Amino acid sequence: VKLDRPMSVLCLACVNQSERGILQSCGKFSRILDPGFSCICWPWQTVSKVSMKVTQLDVHTKTKTKDNVTVTVTCAVQYAVNPQQSESFYFKLCNPKMQISAYVDDCVRSHIPSMTLDEAFEAKETLVDAVKLKLHESMKDYGIIVHQALVTDMNLEKSVTQAMNKINAARREREAAIEIAEANKILLVRAAEADAEAKYLNGKGIALMREAISNGFKSSIQTMQESCGLEPNEVVEMMLVTQYMDVLKDFARSERPCLVVPFAVNSSKQIDLATTEIELPMPETRSDLGERKVVVLNDSTIEAALEEVSQLHLSTLLAKDQNEEELRVDREECMA
C-alpha cells in the first residue's frame, strides 16, 4: 500500500511523580511534561525522562598536605535536578557525575595542600563549605541544586597511620609519666611534712617527759630529805641503784640472747661506769684481775666474749701457779 502522506499515531506518555518529561518534536525541544498522562504524536514526538530524586555521589580525591602527607579525602555530594531547569540539565550536561567529581577534586586539591595534616582534620567544616559553594556556583546554570556536601572520611597510608599512632602513644606515655611523677612528688612532700610533724611532736613529748622526770626526782629528793633526813647525794645514789636493778631485770626478761656478768656495785660512780659499759657491744679494754664488769653481748660477739673470759681465767690460773711456786722456793730457802 502506497501512502500519499506520512502517518502518525496518537499515543499516551506517562510521567511518574518523581520525574519530568522532555518532549522533543523531530529532535527539537518542545516543552517539559509534568507528572501524569500526556498525548504525543509518535514517531514525530518523543519523551525523555529526567529523575528529580536526590542523588548522592561519593568522590575520592587523593592529595598531599602541607607537611607532605598523602591523604585520600572522601566527599559525599547530594544533589538533585531543578524541575524548572530540566531542559538545561538534559541538553547541556553529558556526564553530570564526572563533571561534579572534577569540581570536587579541584576544590579539595586547592585547600588541603595549604594545611598540615592536623589542620586538615580540624578544618573539615571549612572544606565542606568551600566544596558546596564551588558546586553551587558552577552547576546552577545546568539545573543542578546541591543540597549538601559532606567530608565523610580522610584516609591515610598504613605506614603514616602507624607512625601517628606511635607518636600519640609516646605523647600519652610522657603525659602519664609526668602525672605519676607529680603524684609521687606530692606523696613524698606529704610524707616529709608528716615526718617533720611527728618528729616535732615526739621531741615535744620527750621534753615534757624529761621535765616530768626532773620534777619527779626533785620531789622525791625533797620528800626523802624531809622524811629520812638523807643528804641529796645519798638520795641520788639510792635512786641510781634502784634504776640499775631495774635494768638488770629488763635484761632477764628480754627475749634476745645475751650474756650478763655481775658487777660489784659500791658507789654511784661505778654504777655510772656499769651503765655506760652495758650500752657497748664489747668492752674495748681488759679489766685487771679481781675486777668484774657487766657485759651485754649479741649473737655476733658472744664467741669473742667467751674467748676473752677464757683468757682472763687462764691468766688467773697462771698467776696463781706462779705465786705458789714463789712461796715454795721461799720456804726451801728459809729451811736451808
Residue 64 and residue 151 in one domain: yes
Can you say how many angstroms the Cα of residue 269 is from the centroid of all Cα atoms in its chain?
64
CATH label of the domain that carries residue 123: 3.30.479.30
In a domain, 331, yes or no: no
Picking from 135, 156, 177, the residue at the C-terminal end of a domain is 156
Residue 71 and residue 121 in one domain: yes
Specify the 3-state DSSP secondary structure of 193.
helix
Instruction: Identify whether the C-beta of residue 73 lies closer than 8 Å to the C-beta of residue 61.
Output: yes
Any bridge partners for residue 326, and if so which?
Answer: none
In a domain, 302, yes or no: no
Residue-level pLDDT at 291: 42
Residue 122 and residue 68 in one domain: yes
In a domain, 72, yes or no: yes
Q: Which residues, 6+ apart, have CB-to-CB distance to 130 below 8 Å?
A: 107, 111
Q: How far apart are the first and last CA of the chain?
A: 196
In a domain, 175, yes or no: no
Q: DSSP characters for 258-271?
A: ---------SHHHH
Measure the CA–CA gap between 195 and 203, rounded to whole angstroms: 12
Q: DSSP characters for 270-295?
A: HHHHHHHHHTSSS-SSPPPTT-----
| DSSP strand pairing (45-51 vs 55-64) | unpaired
Picking from 122, 156, 190, the residue at the C-terminal end of a domain is 156
Instruction: Identify whether the C-beta of residue 71 lies closer than 8 Å to the C-beta of residue 121.
Output: no
Residue 35 and residue 106 in one domain: no
In a domain, 214, yes or no: no
Picking from 103, 133, 156, the residue at the C-terminal end of a domain is 156
In a domain, 247, yes or no: no
Q: Give the pTM.
A: 0.49
Residue 92 and residue 68 in one domain: yes
Residue-level pLDDT at 304: 62
Residue 41 and residue 78 in one domain: no
Specify the 3-state DSSP secondary structure of 8.
coil
Which cell goes with 308?
676473752
Residue 43 and residue 59 in one domain: no
Residue-level pLDDT at 260: 57
Q: Which residues, 6+ apart, have CB-to-CB distance to 331 below 8 Å?
A: none
Which cell goes with 200?
616535732
Residue 22 and residue 67 in one domain: no
Residue-level pLDDT at 317: 65
Q: How many domains does the chain have?
A: 2
Measure the CA–CA gap between 147 and 132, rounded to whole angstroms: 8
In a domain, 296, yes or no: no
Residue 39 and residue 92 in one domain: no
Measure the CA–CA gap between 102 and 93, rounded to whole angstroms: 13
* Helix segments in 123-157, DSSP class H: 124-139
Measure the CA–CA gap between 228 and 86, rounded to whole angstroms: 133
Residue 62 and residue 131 in one domain: yes
> Range of 110's domain?
52-156
Residue recorded with cell 685487771? 288
**Dihedral sign, CA of 193, 199, 203, 204?**
positive
In a domain, 56, yes or no: yes
- pLDDT tens over the chain, length 336 residues: 444 455 567 788 888 888 888 888 888 888 888 888 888 888 888 888 899 999 999 999 999 888 888 899 999 999 999 988 888 888 888 889 999 999 999 999 999 999 888 888 888 889 999 999 999 888 888 889 999 999 988 888 888 778 878 888 888 889 899 999 999 999 999 999 999 999 999 888 888 888 887 788 778 777 777 777 667 777 777 777 777 777 777 766 767 666 555 554 454 455 454 444 444 344 444 444 344 444 444 444 555 655 665 666 567 667 767 777 777 777 777 776
Residue 22 and residue 95 in one domain: no
Task: Find, among 50, 38, 29, 31, the residue nearest to 10 by Cα.
Answer: 38
Which cell goes with 191?
610524707
Give residue 151's identity as a one-letter amino acid code. Answer: V
Residue 74 and residue 84 in one domain: yes
